[in-house]
Amino acid sequence: MESGLHMCLSCPFAQEVWIQVLAWENLTLPQQIDPTSFSSIEEWWGETEALFPKDRRRMYNGVVIYTLWNIWKERNRRIFEHSSLTPLQVAGRVRESLCLYRSVFR
């Protein structure tokens, strides 16, 4: 059974996207932060956000929003358009979205 938590955080595809995006953004989460140990995306997000100093939380939250959004769009692409991207391509779209956002709001 697919759940939001599985689709966005714990499935191997999503984990590959997260690894790439976090590396590009110079963000690290402790190895102990296992997405399968949380009951919801909200719980995971709250726990991981608290790991960052206040001055970096806004940036981290933007990364989370754009990563979750692009994983969701990839799921819909596969279901409704019968096409798919690789994890690296989805991560690239996250990076493009972040760059565009930052160019507008900085």
Ordered per-residue pLDDT tens for the chain, 106 residues? 679 999 999 999 999 999 999 999 999 888 778 888 999 999 999 999 999 999 999 999 999 999 999 999 999 999 999 999 999 999 999 999 999 988 998 7
The Cα-based distances of 21 to 63, 71, 89 in angstroms read 8, 12, 11
pLDDT given at position 47: 94
In terms of Cβ atoms closer than 10 Å to its own Cβ (0-12, 13-18, 19+), residue 94 is: buried
CB-CB contact of 88 with 70 (8 Å): no
Q: What is the pLDDT of residue 33?
A: 86
The domain limits of the chain are: 4-24+40-105
pTM value surpassing 0.75: yes
